[in-house]
A and B are shown apart, each in its own frame.
Chain A
Amino acid sequence: MTTPASEAPVTPRSEYEFGFHDDVEALVKLPKGLSHEVVNTISDIKDEPEWMRKLRLKALDHFNARPMPEWGGELGDIDFNDIHYYVRATDRDESDWEDVPDYIKDTYDKLGIPEAEKQGLLAGVGAQYDSEVVYHNIREDLEEKGVLFLGTDQALREYPDLVKEYFTTVIPPNDNKFAALNTAVWSGGSFIYVPPGVNVDIPLQAYFRINSEDMGQFERTLIIADEGSQVHYVEGCTAPIYSSDSLHSAVVEIVCKPGSNVRYTTIQNWSNNVYNLVTKRATAYQDAVMTWVDGNLGSKLTMKYPAVYLMEPGAHGEVLSIASAGQGQHQDAGAKIVHAAPNTTSVITSKSLSMDGGRSTYRGLLKVYDGADGCRSNVRCDALMLDEHSRSDTYPVMEIDEKRVDIGHEATVSKVGDEQLFYLMARGLSEAEATKMIVNGFVEPIIKSLPLEYAVEMNRLIELQMEGAIG
């Protein structure tokens, strides 16, 4: 029996185009709730090494002991006992798209994947459906150069030492409550290793899809860019519209070895019933460059502050983020940069939009340790509100323990100005068209840093959201 998505109780963001779901029986679906038994079962299903099971159980204890964060967004409605922590639709991670089960393939076809891979726009593609990765493939020449791009579970089976060496080294299990939860029940995610000097010239992309109702998706992504290597990873996220809420709580750890260059781009377009609570952090060593490009359009509540720890001289960290909050949404997003070594540099550029009663929050931390002299950082966060009943806040925190640094900071909060609207309308543009143009201009500095096809997609998603808000 198939229930069309249009008959499901629809959250206000009714123009959300990925709100459909597949009505299929999952192969494995653990009962709702969180316990040692559930964690043990996940570990059993995955037939993991004992160190991982122990790590999971320890993390669960930490999760249970730790109070809910009281800052940020409203988390009180999350019922951790009303969530399926593991849902597996298929028992295989395929490398040939034809072998992926048809109903999953249909879903991804509707989302335009792996069309981009076929067109040669991507160097590799991964797809996660509920708890498990269902597809991973990488261009042959990169594979021959030793580039690894596979599901994290598969990596743990095939390269256990490599995973063990880096797993939880960037984000320890006790970093925060949701990192602890992810460590306890993680499943799926991408594992990438780029050998020294190898340049992955076009992006690797992963696509995350929640399909089941009341489920939590807890992917775990680990990227290791060895010395002098270069890689760009892109992730996209969507989910069906259900009447009850889902939880997405991922952890992404990145190690940028000396001279490497990593760019991680997220276009998050979850449906409006997803709590999106994600910990993303990178460590950058000598002369390495780490860039987070973070686009948050969907979800009910997002709390996400991509971080770069600049560990050795010459390292550069950059966070470019866009958040757009419409009706019933709260985007609590930002950036965290830690200058732990001299002569490191960073740039934070954040643009947030709020419309139709939505709420955007910029929350940032810039930390410079004593002794990290010669650091330079520039922080710029701008917020734009489209109407009177939307909300925007900025909390830029700076902890500077070193005097010989050069820090620039600029923050603006503005409403779509009457003068700007009047100017464009005096040239014949309708109010809706003029507003779109002003918004597009506002996000332009971020959009132009995206590869063309993602820039087009991001613009399209913002416009879709605005159509709901300004009619």
Chain B
Amino acid sequence: MTPPLFEIDALQVAVEDKQIVNGLSLTLRPGEVHAIMGPNGSGKSTLANSLMGHPRYTIHGGDIRLEGESVVELAPDERARLGLFLAFQYPTDIPGVSMINFLRRAMSARRGEEIPVREFRQVLNEILGRLQMDEQFVRRYVNDGFSGGEKKRAEILQLGLLEPKVAVMDETDSGLDIDALRIVSEGINTFHSDDNAILLITHYQRILRYVQPDHVHVLIDGRIVESGDASLAERLERDGYEPFMAPAKEEVLTS
């Protein structure tokens, strides 16, 4: 078996003293696509943000390893330069900063050297074409005034440019119409190779029709309560999250 590319090891994450992720473990090997599915409030976004090192989330137990090296102590930019990527659920707008300037800086940071303009333009235009995005798009300010679909496409554009080793996709399918979902999914599939791994974090199963997962995990209350193959996603779609919920939680909900 190939060595793990990305390991989440008994991870515990809190937000303002409230424990959200409770000892979650997961191993991604090169070439794999994993999907973590969970209902609202199960800890999906907390997991995604803490993997990237968001300062609001405190990791107080467990480990995150990229190619065997712990990244828990590293700042987000250091994690990014090592090849970890987060596609944001709600990408932040940065007025006054053009996409093209931002993308070139980001790509140079990931590479550790200035990328020549010509090469940059070439790669950029190729990916823009693939995502059916106009070249003028990159003249706009980062996420500023973007529609929901444009924001998600812009995230996939960055995925393609930065070529990370591990991509964490936080609800990338939310808010997309069916055509946009197809284009975004194709973008993910084109990026995917035997050398990288993808962690799709999602509420719904629909993106999994386009991006085939090797493994599906059910996240409830910050823990993985069940793992399986792609058929688990279909079961979830049919039966909902209810059968996986702890009985105590149900009582609380119905009382």
Contact = CB atoms under 8 A, between A and B. Distances in A.
A431 B110 CA distance: 15
Contact of B54 (A422, A424, A429): A422
B91 A445 contact: no
A112 interface: no
B139 interface: no
A441 to B, nearest CB: 3
A422 B162 contact: no
B97 A427 contact: no
Q: Which of B91, B109, B162 has the most CB of A within 10 A?
A: B109
A441 B96 CA distance: 4
A420 B90 CA distance: 11
Given A418-B55, A437-B105, A425 B75 contact: yes
Nearest to A444: B96
B96 A430 contact: no
A426 B143 CA distance: 15
B92 interface: yes
A438 B80 contact: no
Dominant secondary structure of chain A at its interface with chain B: helix
Interface string B48-83: 000011111000000000000000000111011100
A417 B56 CA distance: 12
Given A418-B56, A422-B55, A427 B162 contact: yes
A440 B96 CA distance: 7
Interface residues of B, number: 30
B106 interface: yes
B88 interface: yes
Contacts of B54: 422
A441 B98 CA distance: 8
A101 to B, nearest CB: 44
A442 interface: yes
Interface string A423-455: 111111111011001101111110000000000
Nearest to A433: B105
A153 B193 CA distance: 75
Interface string B160-191: 00100000000000000000000000000000
Interface residues of A, number: 24
B95 interface: yes
A417 B90 CA distance: 15
Nearest to B144: A441
B77 A423 contact: no
Contact of A437 (B75, B77, B86, B97): B97
Q: Which of B75, B79, B97, B106 has the most CB of A within 10 A?
A: B97
B94 interface: yes
B12 interface: no
A233 to B, nearest CB: 27
Contacts of A431: 75, 77
A423 B109 contact: no
A355 B129 CA distance: 42
A78 B85 CA distance: 55
Contacts, number: 80
B102 A442 contact: no
Contacts of B53: 425-426
Contacts of B52: 422, 426
Contacts of A418: 55-56
A416 to B, nearest CB: 11
B141 interface: yes
Contact of A445 (B56, B77, B96): B96
B56 A423 contact: no
Interface string A44-70: 000000000000000000000000000
B106 A423 contact: no
Contacts of A444: 95-97
A445 to B, nearest CB: 7
A428 to B, nearest CB: 3
A444 B109 CA distance: 23
Contacts of A440: 96-97
Contact of A422 (B76, B96, B158): B76
Nearest to A422: B54
Contacts of A25: none
A419 interface: yes
Nearest to A439: B96
Contacts of B106: 424, 427-429
A423 B105 contact: no
A437 B76 CA distance: 16
A53 to B, nearest CB: 51
Contact of A443 (B75, B96, B142): B96
A73 B102 CA distance: 38
A429 B94 contact: no
Given A441-B96, A441-B97, A429 B109 contact: yes
B18 to A, nearest CB: 18
A423 B80 contact: no
Nearest to A417: B92
A433 B102 CA distance: 11
B109 A420 contact: no
Given A418-B56, A422-B55, A424-B102, A429 B95 contact: no
Given A428-B109, A429-B105, A438 B97 contact: yes
A430 B142 CA distance: 17
A441 B95 CA distance: 6
B94 A428 contact: no
Nearest to B85: A426
A414 to B, nearest CB: 11
7 contacts: A419-B92, A422-B92, A424-B106, A425-B77, A433-B109, A434-B77, A444-B95
Interface of A: 417-420, 422-431, 433-434, 437-438, 440-445
Query: 3 tightest CB-CB pairs across the interface, nearest first?
Result: A441-B96, A428-B109, A444-B96
